[in-house]
C-alpha cells in the first residue's frame, strides 16, 4: 500500500550540465524542450545557453546524447532548482533522433 503523501516524481534519465558541473534529473520533455530538476542551485541564470548530456536509464537501452539549450526559466525549490530549457542545437551524432525517441518513450510512460 502506498503511504507517501506526495507523489513520487518519475525520471527515466539523468542530465549532466558539464559547463556548470551540475547534475539533475529529466522531469518533463516536450517537442522543443525539457525540464531538469538540478540538485542544489547550479547558479545558471535565465537566457544562458547550456550543454546538456542526457543519460537515459539502462533499461531504456540507448546511449547518452548531447544537445544545447537556452534556459527559459528557473524556479528554486530547495534542495533542487528546476530549469526549463529550450533546445537550440543537437550536438552529438544522432542526438536529434535520440531526443525524439526519448520524448516518445517519455510520453508513453508518463500516461
At residue 11 the predicted structure's pLDDT band, cuts being 50, 70 and 90, is low
CA Rg, the chain, in Å? 14
pTM, whole model, 2 decimals? 0.85
Top pLDDT among 110 and 108 is at 108
Neighbouring CB atoms inside 10 A of 67's CB total 21
Three-state secondary-structure class, residue 29: strand
Cα dist from 13 to 1, 5, 45, whole Å: 26, 24, 23
Per-residue pLDDT averaged across 82-96, rounded?
96
pLDDT at residue 5 is higher than 80 = no
Amino acid at each position: 500500500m502506498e503511504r507517501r503523501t506526495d507523489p513520487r516524481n518519475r525520471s527515466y534519465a539523468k542530465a549532466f550540465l558539464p559547463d556548470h558541473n551540475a547534475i539533475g534529473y529529466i522531469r518533463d520533455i516536450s517537442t522543443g524542450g525539457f525540464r531538469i530538476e538540478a540538485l542544489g542551485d547550479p547558479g545558471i541564470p535565465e537566457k544562458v545557453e547550456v550543454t546538456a548530456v542526457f543519460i537515459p536509464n539502462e533499461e531504456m537501452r540507448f546511449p547518452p546524447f548531447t544537445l544545447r539549450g537556452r534556459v527559459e526559466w528557473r524556479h528554486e525549490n530547495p534542495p533542487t532548482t528546476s530549469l526549463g530549457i529550450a533546445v537550440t542545437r543537437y550536438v552529438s551524432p544522432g542526438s536529434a533522433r535520440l531526443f525524439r525517441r526519448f520524448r516518445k518513450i517519455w510520453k508513453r510512460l508518463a500516461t
